[in-house]
Structure 1
Amino acid sequence: MLIPEDHLLRQIEKTVDFSFIYPLAEGIYSPDKGRPGVDPVVLVKIVLIQYLYGICSMRQTIEEIRYNVAYRWFLGYDLYKRPPHFSTFGKNYKRRFEGTDLFEQIFTHMVELCIHKGAVRAETLFVDATHLKASANKHKKVKREIQKQVKSYHEELLAEINRDREAHGKEPFDDDPPPGSAPVTQSTTDPDSGMFVKGEHKRDFAYSIQTACDRHGCALAYDVAAGNVHDSVSFEGLYRKLLPYNPLRLVTDVDYKTPAIMRMLLTGGIMPVVPYTSPKAGKGFLKKSEYIYDEYYDCYICPENKILSYSTTNREGYREYKSKKYVCGKGCRLSECTRSKTHTKVIMRHIWEEYMEQSHHIRYMEGIKELYAKRKETIERVFGDAKEKHGFRYTQYRCKAKIEMEVALAYTAMNLKKLARWLTYSFGFLSLSTLFL
């Protein structure tokens, strides 16, 4: 009687039957040994309250449960029942939940519920990454050499490089040298995090949270990586999680516009929607687009109608096209072409460049420009809401596994909130975009 009919928790309780958690936790809780533990549904609901209302800590969450009647009703507590100690969830995580995928399963169940209720349209997905500040002092750090990770498509790329070299009469690469090492700045507090650098002054240890959502802003998949890992490097983990949704289009920002990712999407039957990238030529120099590629003769033609012939294919998968120094001379625009002492102009073309060109042509299709503009209404809004309303600016947890748990719970709470509001109000007179304001 004390809880208003339009209260969010009342709407959530009508939307979701939380008993699905019992089978997921069946192997974690022992019914015969020890004293009875806190109900797993109650534990999950407690952390959902924390992320639904953006409460900064579990201590404060338990304190608010003590006197908030709506919270008590949502947990099934009467006015006199004492809530558990604020350390209860942390101890249960350490003793029961650590090393399990319980929270990922809860997130997946909520996504499936959103799909079942018709609140998700997965034909177009929006992908981007944001950074979650780690619970680590940026001054407590060490310099270390770590081995570079071999890209997942390395073997496939090397095989194609060797085929390309053989087609041009070059010897294939026999050996496959180790990837080598690179210096990194590692936190002594949370080694799983990475140093995130933005601009000249912002340097913090953080985690990179890649997320995919639909046009209604429902988070469908996520991936957690260190803050110093580029989005294009960690994209494949997220991509595998998106395949069950069979998306037709994937809208990304410029960080994902690489030959490997464009090839991955186009060969998988997914249309990449990417932004325009301005040429990286220096001021006063000719742009690469001003050199015409002749596919039949496999060469480039400069604005002065001189030929840049194929030279070699390097280990990174780039073909090198070079001009002849005795051809370029008086009358040529050498000062705009190259500053090489030998008057040799070199143009690099990736062996998967055709996929980049296809993604470039897609930009001119009808409706694509408007579709890309919806990023600010979808994925960017998801990140904005998560940071402003659901405690996503920084974390109090340490280690990647706990961050994955936190992200799963935060996105579960956000999807649950959207679904409950939508089912309550969107019966032909309110749109989803209005409800999620």
Structure 2
Amino acid sequence: MYVKKDREPQKQIKFVSIEDLVPQEHILRDIDKAIDFSFIYDEVRGLYSEIEWGKPGIDPVSLFKIVFIQSLFGIRSMRQTIKEIEVNMAYRWFIGYDIGEPIPHFSTFGKNYSRRFKDTDVFQRIFEQILQEAVNCGFIDASAVFIDGTHIKASANKRKATEAVIEKQAKNYQKQLEEEIAKDRAEHGKKPLKSKDHDDDEPTPPAPEMKTIKQSKTDPESGVFHKGEHEKCFAYVANTACDRHNFVLDFELGAGNIHDSVMFDGLYKKVLSKFSEVNVVALDSGYKTPWIMKQIIDTQRIPAVPYKRPMTKDGFFKKYEYVYDEYHDCILCPNNQVLTYSTTNRDGYREYKSDPKLCKTCSMRSQCTESKSCQKVVLRHVWEPYMELAEDYRHTPEYRDIYKLRSETIERVFADAKEKHAMRYTQLRGLQKLKMQVTLTFACMNLKKLATWKRRKGMLRSFFSHLIQNIALSDSQFIIKRQKGAMQFA
């Protein structure tokens, strides 16, 4: 037999505090104890006026905690976040607001961003402060770093686009590659390469290369992203590095049409500047390029990369079937014929060519080349030894096992960011605004893990120890100051 619920008690007035309405095991309690948010006051110093004008501003800690709530719980917009805070006692408690206290308008953060926080590194400093707390607690294990990229759908209609001609960005390593090419050509008795646009020997700066791209009318800073089974769309790409314990160490953000390997340099330098103990760098096949392998090995680190399938037509010999003879500097084809060195091209590849007379009568020519001149050309990069060394590391059990951890580390970070923290798409437009969103998202993910680990290890500050630190005595009253208000005893 059921009992009809009496709703009259809902109209009764009770004396309760907001402290009693928040469950003791709530994640926000752990987060509030895990880190002292007063560091935010130092980070925003100088961004607020020292003179009081009109209505007092909102406490910066409360303002940022509102944004933390949005990122922590994956709420889709600031408008919806304010609605949730109005009815959620745990959210109110976390930002320091009482039961009946009015919550700031949803446009407050947007106005503060455009007036105070825009063009500042305050979000990055908050991210680094949380990460440093994890380092101080010994939670970071950066002996192996996992790097990968993920796309974030832009707030832009893919049908509203136009073609734009832009300057092609030069490779970060272009100067170093040109020096290597000149050195290699000199060793083979070849003349230096001339400028692309000039036939004379006078050193003149080359004209910048141009390319045509599809540019969004809504968000011009985004780029067209199309990879595998993903739908073609305007997006941004976040190249991210994490440690063995899934703490996000840093990231680089760019347009969706920028390849992951292009963004690797900046991210790798930032990670090494913070964590010199990095020993192994685990990467996906998209990063397996001669320059990236050279960069990692030259910095005394070890790349953990997968097997990369040769991009060869079906029915033809694979590239690894053409053996390089280092002593004689030549290539041996599957039919044991010699391909001799011809030249080193502008892209840094040595060209080894066969004898057309021998290829013309070769029984394996249909599996080797379709060239009308009956000549096979095999390319070998000047930095190919780094690729071969990376391939040797791939067969080492220790580094092979580290690479397998990608599914439990960086891929898990992206899955959580998109499914639990609303990073699958963005409602913001422009690279700078999106960088603010991604920075806060990764900061909150680190903060959540930091609080969880501190609870497991018994490192959270207890409520009473926190009270003792804030006791103040006066002649007429004994006041115990609490973080949220004060309890007074006459």
Determine which structure has more spread, i.e. the larger CA radius of gyration.
2
Q: More deviation in 328-337 or 211-220?
A: 328-337
1:365-380 equivalences under 5 Å are 365-380=396-411
Structure 1 position 215, deviation (Å): 1.1
Deviations for 1:340-393, whole angstroms, at most 9, x for unmatched residues? 122110000010011111110001112222211111111111111111110011
1:421-432 equivalences under 5 Å are 421-426=452-457
1:245 aligns with 2:265: no
Distance in 1 separating the partners of 2:185 and 2:357: 26
Q: Which amino acid aligns with 2:404?
A: A
Matching residue within 81, 97, 119 for 1:77: 97
Distance in 1 separating the partners of 2:397 and 2:157: 49
Distance in 2 separating the partners of 1:229 and 1:207: 9
Match of 2:366 in 1: 335
Deviations for 1:245-294, whole angstroms, at most 9, x for unmatched residues? 12111111011000011111110111111100122221111111111101
Q: Which amino acid aligns with 2:187?
A: A
Q: Unpaired segments of 5 or more residues in structure 2?
A: 1-19, 196-204, 460-490
Structure 1 position 179, deviation (Å): 4.3
Matching residue within 151, 160, 165 for 2:185: 165
Match of 1:231 in 2: 260
Match of 1:356 in 2: 387
Distance in 2 separating the partners of 1:402 and 1:39: 22
Q: Which amino acid aligns with 1:62?
A: I
Structure 1 position 229, deviation (Å): 0.5
Q: More deviation in 224-233 or 273-282?
A: 273-282
Q: More deviation in 235-244 or 103-112?
A: 235-244
Q: 1:156 to 1:227 in 2, by over 3 A?
A: same
Q: More deviation in 277-286 or 50-59?
A: 277-286
Matching residue within 123, 128, 132 for 1:103: 123
1:50-69 equivalences under 5 Å are 50-69=70-89
| Number of aligned residues | 428
Distance in 1 separating the partners of 2:234 and 2:372: 44
Classify the secondary structure of the residue corresponding to 1:143. Answer: strand
Matching residue within 236, 246, 256 for 1:217: 246
Distance in 1 separating the partners of 2:293 and 2:133: 31
Structure 1 position 181, deviation (Å): 1.0
Match of 1:122 in 2: 142
Distance in 2 separating the partners of 1:194 and 1:290: 38
Match of 1:412 in 2: 443
Matching residue within 224, 236, 249 for 1:195: 224
Structure 1 position 30, deviation (Å): 0.9
Classify the secondary structure of the residue corresponding to 2:38. Answer: helix
Identity %: 51
Aligned-CA RMSD value: 1.4
Distance in 1 separating the partners of 2:368 and 2:26: 67
1:92 aligns with 2:119: no
Match of 1:48 in 2: 68
Distance in 2 separating the partners of 1:161 and 1:82: 67
Match of 2:306 in 1: 275
Matching residue within 7, 15, 24 for 2:43: 24
Distance in 1 separating the partners of 2:362 and 2:98: 90
Distance in 1 separating the partners of 2:241 and 2:409: 10
Distance in 1 separating the partners of 2:118 and 2:139: 32
Structure 1 position 309, deviation (Å): 0.4
Classify the secondary structure of the residue corresponding to 2:436. Answer: helix
